[in-house]
Structure 1
Amino acid sequence: MNSITPPLVRTERIGSTLLITLDRPEARNAVDAAVAAQLASSLDELEADPNLRAGVLTGEGGTFSAGMDLKAALRGESPEIEGRGFGGLTEAEPGKPLIAAVEGFAMGGGFELALACDLIVTAEDARFGLPEVKRGLIAAGGGVIRLPKRIPHHLAMEFLLTGEPVDGRRAGELGLANRVTARGQAVAEALRLAQRLAENAPLALAAVKRVVRAADGAPDSEAFAYQRTQMKTLMASADVREGMTAFAERRPAQWTGR
C-alpha cells in the first residue's frame, strides 16, 4: 500500500486571504529543503490567484519556526531556493501583502521569515531571536541586512552580536511588530488585518511594495522617478476610476485589479 506523505506547508483560503501554515511541529517548524520548496509553492499560489488579496504566514503547534533545520543542513540539504532565498521567501519579492502571525519561537531563520513579511502580528509571549553567532554563523537570511533598517542600530546589534531573544511584548515596544496579542490570538488578529488590507485597491497595494523596495537606499531623485512610473500606470487603471467614482457615490469600491 502506498502511503501519502502529509504536506509540510498547508494553505487555507479564508475569504480573500491565503493562510499559509508551516506544518512540521515535531521539528518546531524548522525549514529544510522540502519545507522551502513547499513554502515557495504556497507563495506562488497566493500570487497567481486574483481573488486572493493577502497572505498570512504562521506555524503549527504553537511555534512559528525555529529556523534552519541544522540536522538537514549537516546532511547537505539547503533550505534556500535559488533566487528566492531562505525558505523560498527571504529574497523573494511577493507582489501581495504578507503578514507574519507569530506564536512561540521565531528564531534564526524563523525570525528572518517574519522580517521578510510586510507586517508582523505577535503573541505577547512569542520569542524572537537571531542565535546564529552561537553556532559560528551569521543571520544570513536577511537578519544582518534587514534588522538594522527596522530598529535602531545599537538595538539591532544587540540581537545580532549576543544571539539573545526577546519576547513578543518587547518586539512590539521596539517597533518590530504591528500588533501584540494574547497567546493564541496572533492568527485571528492577522486575518483581521489582512481583511483591512483587502478593502484597498490591489494594484495600489502592489505599487506601494514596489516603490518601497525601489526607494530603499536609492537617491531621492531615482526614487521619485520610479514612483512617477508607478503613478502613471495606476492613473491609467480601471481601479483608479472606480476608486474615484465610489468616493463620489459614497459607496465601497469594487476592485477588479485592472
Structure 2
Amino acid sequence: MTTNFTTLPPGPLLDRRVLAKAAQQVDDLLAELPAPPARTAAQRDEAASALDRIRTMRADYVEAHAEEIYEELTAGRTRYLRIDELVRAAARAFPGLVPTDEQMAAERSRRQAEKEGREIDQGIFLRGILRASKAGPHLLDAMLRPTPRALDLLPEFAESGLVRMEAVRLERRDGVAHLTLCRDDCLNAEDAQQVDDLETAVDLALLDPSVRVGLVRGGEMSHPRYRGRRVFCAGINLKKLSTGGIPLVDFLLRRELGYLHKIVRGVFTGGSWRSRLIDKPWLAAVDAFAIGGGAQLLLVFDHVVAASDAYFSLPAAKEGIIPGASNFRLTRFTGPRVARQVILGGRRIRADEPDAQLIVDEVVEPEDMDGAIDAALARLDEEAVPANRRMVNLAEESPEEFARYMAEFALQQALRIYGADVIGKVGRFAAGERA
C-alpha cells in the first residue's frame, strides 16, 4: 500500500485544512493495517514512514503558528486552560494537529505495546506551545491555578483540617499541612491517581490561610516486604506503565507542571499587588527510600530530613525513560559528575555516605526522625522564610528556563514511553510481578 501525502504549501502561512487532509490520509492508512503488534515488518515500516511525514508537518505547523493557535484556543489568553483541556480544545479547533478524544480513548484501552503512540503528537503540540514566548508562560500560569477538585474540598478542609484521599491523607496540625503518602500496598508507587491526589493536597495546603508550612512523608506500609514501616516513594508504577496506564498529559506532564511546580512557585490565584501567587515553605521526610519520582520530589523541597538507613536513586535511564525535571535540577545540587552517575548510570546514594549531603539537609537515626522533623518545621515557620525561599527559587530556577526544559521534555518523554526498549523492560517487570 502506498500513501500519497498532501504536502504543505511553501510560505509562512500553513493552511490548517491541508494539515487536516494529510492527517486523515495517515489515519485511513493506520485503520487499514492490523494492530501494531500484528503488523509485518513491511507494514511497520509503512506506518512509521507515514507517521514520520505527518509528524514533520505537525511540528512545522505548530512551530510557525504556536502563538496564533494558543490565542485562538484561549480567547486571546483570557482563558486559562490546563494541558488536558488545551489538547482537547486543539483537537476540536485544528483537526489533525493532535489526536481526537475518540482516538485517545482507543489508546487508553490498549496496553503500551499495542498503542499507535498518539501521545507523541500531543508532545509535538505542547513542545511548540511551551516554546512560544507568550503562550508558554501563560500555560505555566494555567497549570499553577488551583484545581476545581481542590476548590470544592477547600471549605471542608478549612473547617475540619482533614481530607482523606486514595493516595494521600492531608491533615492540618498547628499550622502544618501533613501530606502523608498512603498507597500502602504498592510502596507509594506513582500513578495518575497519586498525581491527582497530591496536586489536590498541595493546592489545599497552599490555599488554606491556617497553613504556614507543608510536610510530605510516606505512611506505614502493608506491603509484605515493608509491613509496618514508613516508606517515602518507590517511583513510577511500572505495572501501570506496561498496561498503558501512565499517560503523558495526565501523569508525566501534569506532575511536573502541576504539584511539583506549585511546591516551587506556589499556587496562582491572580492575587493582589503583592503577588499573584501563594507560596509556602515545604519539608520532605524520607523513610526507607526515595526512588525515581520520589527522589525527584526531594529537589523541590526547602528542607529534607532522611533516616540514616534510607537511600535515593533515579533508575529512569535504566528503565528507558527521563526522570522528570531531575535532568534540569539535579546538577545544581550535586554537580555534573554525580548527576550523571545518578541519572545515566543509575547510581544509588545511601543516606549515610558523603554525597547524600548534597541532596538532603539532615540524616538522623530512624528513631530520631520525628524530633528532627519537628525542629526543621519550626525553623521553616520563621517569618522571613517565605520571602527568602521565593527569591532563592527565582534565582535558581527561572520560569523561562523551566518552560524551555519542559517544552523539550514533553516530546522526548513521549518518544521514550513508546521506545521498544521501554516496552520490553516494563513488560518483563510486569510479568515478573505477576509470576
TM-score between the two structures when normalised by the length of structure 1? 0.74
Q: Deviations over 1:198-224 (max 9, x none)?
A: 2x21xx433223212222267xxxxxx
* Runs (5+) with no aligned partner, structure 1: 219-258
Change (3 A) 1:133 1:72: same
**2:366 is the counterpart of 1:197:** no
Matched, 1:146 2:146: no
- 1:89 corresponds, among 241, 259, 266, to 259
Larger radius of gyration: 2
Q: Residues 191 and 19 of structure 1: is their aligned pair in 2 closer, same or farther, counting only changes over 3 Å? A: farther
2:259 counterpart SS class: coil
- Which residues of 2 match residues 80-229 of structure 1 at below 5 A? 80=251, 85=256, 88-92=258-262, 93-94=265-266, 95-139=279-323, 141-170=324-353, 173-198=356-381, 200-201=382-383, 204-216=384-396
- One-letter identity of the residue aligned with 1:214: L
Q: What letter is aligned with 2:289?
A: F
Q: How many residues align?
A: 209
String of CA shifts for 1:1-54, please: whole Å, max 9, x gaps.
xxxx96210012221111111101211101111111111111111111222110
**Residue 238 of structure 1: aligned partner:** none
The Cα of 1:148 is off from its aligned counterpart by 0.4
Superposed CA RMSD? 2.3
- Tell me, yes or no, if the aligned pair for 1:8 and 1:35 is still in contact at 8 Å: yes
Q: 1:101 to 1:172 in 2, by over 3 A?
A: farther
SS of residue in 2 equivalent to 1:89: helix
SS in structure 1 opposite 2:312?
Answer: strand
For 1:43-54, list aligned pairs within 5 A: 43-54=202-213
Q: How does 1:19-58 map to 2 (within 5 A)?
A: 19-58=178-217
User: Structure 1 residue 191: deviation in Å?
Assistant: 2.8
CA distance in 2, matches of 1:135, 1:169: 26
Q: Distance in 2 between matches of 1:193 and 1:185?
A: 12
Is contact 1:171-1:177 (8 Å) kept? Answer: no
Structure with greater proportional helix content: 2
Change (3 A) 1:32 1:171: farther
Structure 2 CA distance for aligned equivalents of residues 171 and 53 of structure 1 = 32
Cα displacement (A) at 1:152: 2.2
Whole-Å separation in 1 of the counterparts to 2:179 and 2:371: 13
Partners in 2 of 1:205 and 1:144 — Cα distance? Answer: 27
Give me the whole-angstrom Cα distance separating, in 2, the residues matched to 1:191 and 1:135. 36
Letter in 2 for 1:101: A
Provide, for residues 141-178 of structure 1, a one-character-per-residue CA deviation record: whole Å limited to 9, x for no partner.
22111110111221121111211211112266532111
The answer to whether the 8 A contact 1:125-1:183 is kept is: yes
Identity level (%): 30
Q: Which string of whole-angstrom CA distances, capped at 9 and with x for unpartnered residues, describes residues 43-100 of structure 1?
A: 11111122211011011122100111122223233363766517x4333323111111
Larger relative strand fraction: 1
